[in-house]
Amino acid sequence: EAGVAQSPRYKIIEKRQSVAFWCNPISGHATLYWYQQILGQGPKLLIQFQNNGVVDDSQLPKDRFSAERLKGVDSTLKIQPAKLEDSAVYLCASSLSPGTSSYEQYFGPGTRLTVT
């Protein structure tokens, strides 16, 4: 079974530029998550989708971050404009169930973003 795919793996941009990350979840997984992981910290949930609807985006900085999941499969996360504090690894995860916490989340390898 193919895992969660993310691209790009690495991205370096200057502050105030925009950037987009792509995620392809495991086939058949209804729930998709985007996390931000700052160096030395645990992942912080940015947004959770169930199929193509948003379940939780309470911690998403909506003035600069946006995400979509068209057709309930692939997802993109965008930052515009980027700030220095956005430097982090952005992890995408998916799970089989519609958001039930007992189901395992499968994580992609992440995109390491550096904002200079």
Partner 1 sequence: KNQVEQSPQSLIILEGKNCTLQCNYTVSPFSNLRWYKQDTGRGPVSLTIMTFSENTKSNGRYTATLDADTKQSSLHITASQLSDSASYICVVSGGTFGRGTSLIVHP
Q: Are 24 and 74 in contact (CB under 8 A)?
A: yes
Q: Which is nearer to partner 1, 17 or 37 (CB)?
A: 37
Binding site for partner 1 (CB under 8 A): 4, 40-45, 91, 93, 100-110
Q: Which is nearer to partner 1, 6 or 19 (CB)?
A: 6
Closest approach of partner 1 to the CB of residue 104, in Å: 5
Measured CA distances, 114 to 35, 45, 83, 85, 103 (Å): 16, 19, 10, 9, 32
Closest approach of partner 1 to the CB of residue 81, in Å: 27
